[in-house]
Amino acid sequence: MRVEIGLDDTDSADGMCTTYIAHRLVERLLKTGAAEASDYPRLIRLNPNIPWKTRGNGAVTIPVRTRDPNTAFQEACRAVEEYSEAGRGAADPGVVVSTLEQIPKDIKQFAEKALSEVVTRREAVRLMKKYNMQFRGWGTQRGLIGALAAIGSRLEEDRTFELLAFRSQENWGVKKRKIDPISVREMSLKTHPRTFNSFDEEKERVMITPRGPDPVLLGIRGEDPEALLEAYSIVKIGEAVDGHMIFKSNQGTGVHLKPELNPAELKAYRAGHLKCTVSKKPWIERGGHAYFEAENGGHTVTCAAYEPTGGFRKTVLNLIPGDTVEVGGSIRKKSRKHGAAINLEYLRVLELAKDISISNPLCRRCGRRMESQGRGQPFRCSACGFEDSSAEKIRAEQPRAVQKNLYLPPPRAQRHLTKPLQRYQANNRKPMNLIDGWFKPTAIPPLKQAKT
């Protein structure tokens, strides 16, 4: 029987990661023979604007084949109880088991909504009851939302893969990961474009390592599992590795920006895209954040590119009123200090307005720039005193510093779901079977009570 085990909200800012628990759970299921893997586990990133997320709003589902879904459910609950941060007030885990042959449309729609909007636990519970799913929540049980959304995210249109390697328990909490940056750069150069966002060339920064106290050592993202194993073999690691697992994912697909935003009502925490016309000259505010105003259907929206987006702000500042653009991003909540705004994740320039500069004419006698003496009066040269009633203002078209093109912040400022430039060429839908090496169990026997 095909079964999926969804998990979410197991971690806190102090430690743990749902992907780690998934790794431990897969190991247990395989070792005990309770189930066998039927496909790659899926790491699904949900709406990145949810304020109650710990880090990247990731949830996991594990597709398996088993005769005994009840044991799979019990094992999942046991793994959550042993490893999660539940009970410390920080995590609110959820475990959901689906035995459905086909995922129904309303569950898929729920999952789609969870990518770009705020959904409720009640909606999740209603659906799980409707389809007789086994589920259990801890604390506020909010993790049920992500666990069900992961099951409902089928990655039918596009997907990527990520290899996650885990740290030995004695290193949890030590924020610095011992990874040789030169080897990461080499890996990135050798495997690009089959891998992406591993190394930021501009800042010479390793991007495959998280910086928190969690058990993840590194994560390499790419288009197929073979590329990930090849890339992983190139990276030089200076600390103990406690197994790895390859996940299928919606990271790097930009799927959260598919819905069209409603300019009449910019609801906080939503994500999506909008076509609009720049209506006000862009400006920069304290802290180095760049803004512009644009119009759609008589509604004005503010768009923002924050300081960490680096050179992307330059593009924004080079827009002029009249430019037609499509913006993709998330709605920043209105506050006492500022109104709602779209935080830009991409900018597509569709039409460029003409940048016309208007200047006073040059003096026919001495060649200096003339001065206006007011409406209906002739221009006057302040250098030689010549007055010229036939002279007119000069209108000149200036070259534009932006092109009709797609612009993105640099990789280091991109979100997990942001589609990197290189991925705009084609979506990845090819079926890919489990390959040897997709999963490596832990090398070190886990402690009984493994909380950090």
Note the residues at the interface with ligand ATP (CB under 6 A).
Answer: 8-9, 11, 17-18, 46-47, 50, 52-58, 91-92, 114, 117-119, 142-143, 145-146
* Tokens 């604007």 sit on residue: 49
CB of 91 to ligand ATP, least distance (A): 6
Nearest position to ligand ATP, beta carbon = 146
* Tokens 């801890």 sit on residue: 138
CB of 261 to ligand ATP, least distance (A): 16
CB of 84 to ligand ATP, least distance (A): 10
CB of 55 to ligand ATP, least distance (A): 4
Contact present, 409 and 347 (Cβ < 8 Å): no
Q: How are the residues of the chain apportioned to helix, strand and coil, as percentages rounded to the nearest 5? A: 25, 30, 45
Query: What DSSP state is assigned to residue 304?
Result: E
* Tokens 């979506």 sit on residue: 427
Could you tell me how many helices (H) and strands (E) the chain has, helices first? 8, 23
Q: Coil, helix or strand for 209?
A: coil
Q: Is 155 left (phi over 0), alpha (psi -120 to 50) or beta?
A: left
CB of 155 to ligand ATP, least distance (A): 17
CB of 43 to ligand ATP, least distance (A): 9
CB of 116 to ligand ATP, least distance (A): 8
DSSP per-residue string spanning 334-402: P-SSS--EEEEEEEEEEEPPPEEEEEPPBPTTT-PBPB--STTSPEE-TTT--EETT---EEEEEPPSS
Helix runs in 84-224, H state only: 105-116, 121-130, 143-152, 181-191
Identify which of 32, 102, 35, 40 has the alpha carbon closest to the alpha carbon of residue 69: 35
